[in-house]
Amino acid sequence: MMNVYINIENTEDIKMFKEKASYFNDSVLKEIHYESGSTRDHASNSLHPFDTLAVVKMIFESHCNKGKIIELIFEHIERLNLVPTPLYYDSLFENPSIFFCENFIYFSRYENDVLKLDESSCENTWLKAKNAKYIIK
């Protein structure tokens, strides 16, 4: 079976995604990957230092529905604020905020107000991107 990602383009898509993801009930962030697009050409030994991708992939594992895996991909990242939880402390993501503001999509562990994201940056994992898509396995 082919993996087909579903685009999140409006608030109705967000609502549908969160329902399918069981509102992240009993879900933990297992992995987060950032790919910039910058690289070194090994054949010519030349450096390509320009970000052409700026993609974040977040993988959540859920205890709901026999262990579903939620993959979220954010493209054209403008801001990534990562605050890991302390070691041996729970990293549950209960109903995180996902919303649109001024042609950007935001994902935030705690905050749902763009104006408060910067002031919550010490304890809040959040990002700002142009596009988002998901798959639930």
Mean pLDDT, to the nearest integer, of 21-34? Answer: 90
Tell me if 42 is assigned to some domain.
no
| Cβ(109)–Cβ(102) below 8 Å | no
Structure confidence at residue 48 as a pLDDT band (50, 70, 90): confident
Residue 43 domain flag:
no
Look up the domain containing 56 and give its range.
Answer: 6-37+49-136
Report d(CA 57, CA 73) in Å as an integer.
4
pLDDT for 1 beyond 90: no
User: Is residue 49 predicted with pLDDT exceeding 90?
Assistant: no
* Among 74, 110, 73, 83, residue whose Cα is nearest residue 95: 110
Number of domains the chain is built from: 1
